[in-house]
Structure 1
Amino acid sequence: MSRFMDFCAAGRAALLEGRATFDRPPVEGATRWGAAAVLRPEGEVLDRLAELAAEAGPVVGAGHWVHDRAALHLTLRSLEPYRQVVRERGDYGAALAAAAEGLPPVRVELRGVAAHRGGMLVWGAPADVTLVTLQKRFAHELGAASAFESWERDIWYVSVVHFAAPVAAPEEIVAWCGERVGLRVGLAELTRAEIVQFAHTGAGMRLVPLEGVTLG
């Protein structure tokens, strides 16, 4: 939890000091919003995340990407720059299937809402070793193709908002998240891992499933 609190403090400072960043619709070759391996929450946890995102909408104001339930996800690994055609989808899918073989569903405790310079998120803490095991296996199966995400992801979260325009009311955003810093969303049991690409809808991003595997 201390890592989360440090993240909250850094995000709060960034916003209040005017250092927010915002996304634009991706173009071919952009470093963000390329194909990725993700896990998507389901059931009551998904309902609660969708409610949180909807509640955050009026706080951040118009022009931002407030994610609907179909866009909420936890990223396992980013795979490549943004491309309209994902040529390696079959290879990515095969690597994910091999990595997931024999593993149970991933369990992640979702607790705490935080603002950061690029949006708002819900923090995730793995309930056991399954998520990290899947991560390491997937990197191994990808081999050289894993190089796009060169860092080892050690923080987990579900984004509910991405800023997509200048932030008009940072104090309100920081206060809203501060009131929910200890909020328990629930224990997410993630039963499916997917390779997806992202598409801009005009008002946000949607996930387009390419390949997938059931855990457990």
Structure 2
Amino acid sequence: MSDFGEFRARGRAALLAGEATHDVPMVEGAMRWGAAAAFRPEGEIVDRMTELAATVDAPGHWVHGGPTLHVTLRTLEPYRTHIPEDDPLRRAYGAALAEAVDGLPPAEVRLAGVSPHRGGVLVGAHPRDDTLATVRKRFACALESRGVRDLEQGRVRDLWYVSLVHFAAPLANARDLVGWCDTHAETDFGTAELRTAEIVQFLHTGRGIRVRSLEIAALDGDGGVSPRPHS
């Protein structure tokens, strides 16, 4: 697992050096923002992240909150505007996800630490058990067994996070934004129980991003996953 402090330091340096990148509204076939497998936290912890995100000075950028906040498990495909209910890939994704979470308990994840990076601002998601790692491995195997090759092509995510902001235009206030992140660098939002995995589609609203749930799989089992010591 990547060191979050090191990641934050690299992100600060990149923005202060004028190396920010930015997203554009999705178009058919784009390699960003395609359908993905994700977890969305719920409850007061989401309210706390949403309230903080609303205080960032980021005009013209995509500031996320509420049900848009998510932890990505895997990006699955290039962007498609229309993904019908009977789409074969959608069905394969859903079946693979259900297989991946079968028998597993909710994942406990501490959401803490605000960090800038080249493309925006995020909150670190620090697993308290092995559930996320187990689902990631199982999901990759379940996709492969169905002949499905996801867009990440075997890349293993070594940093979990929830995005608060995606830059949607050239960044004009990098120093101020980095200062805001520094102020909230040690913010601890608490521990979330991720009870549901989803296949989701991202939609541009004109001012930001909306998340549409396509398939759902519940983590309602009782174990087989080793807890990590709470620190």
- TM more than 0.5: yes
Cα distance in 1 for partners of 2:212, 2:44 equals: 22
TM-score by length of 2: 0.89
Matched, 1:45 2:45: yes
The residue that corresponds to 1:105 in the other structure is 106
The residue that corresponds to 1:209 in the other structure is 213
* Identity between Structure 1 and Structure 2 (%): 56
- Residues 145-184 of structure 1 show CA distances to partners (whole Å, capped at 9, x for unaligned) of 2441121011000001000011111111111111111111
Moved >3 Å (runs of 4+): none
Cα distance in 2 for partners of 1:136, 1:25 equals: 31
Structure 1 residue 214: Cα displacement: 1.1
The residue that corresponds to 1:66 in the other structure is 63
Cα distance in 1 for partners of 2:32, 2:2 equals: 28
Cα distance in 2 for partners of 1:30, 1:160 equals: 22
Matched, 1:179 2:183: yes
Cα distance in 2 for partners of 1:190, 1:205 equals: 21
Contact 1:37–1:79 (CA<8 Å) still a contact in 2? yes
Contact 1:79–1:145 (CA<8 Å) still a contact in 2? no
TM-score by length of 1: 0.95
Match of 1:103, SS state, is coil
Amino acid at match of 2:171: V
Match of 1:70, SS state, is helix
How many aligned residue pairs are there?
A: 213
The residue that corresponds to 2:156 in the other structure is 152
Amino acid at match of 1:180: H
Contact 2:40–2:71 (CA<8 Å) still a contact in 1? yes
Structure 1: gaps of 5 or more residues: none
Mean Cα displacement is larger for which, 147-156 or 91-100? Answer: 147-156
The residue that corresponds to 1:79 in the other structure is 76
Structure 1 residue 2: Cα displacement: 7.3
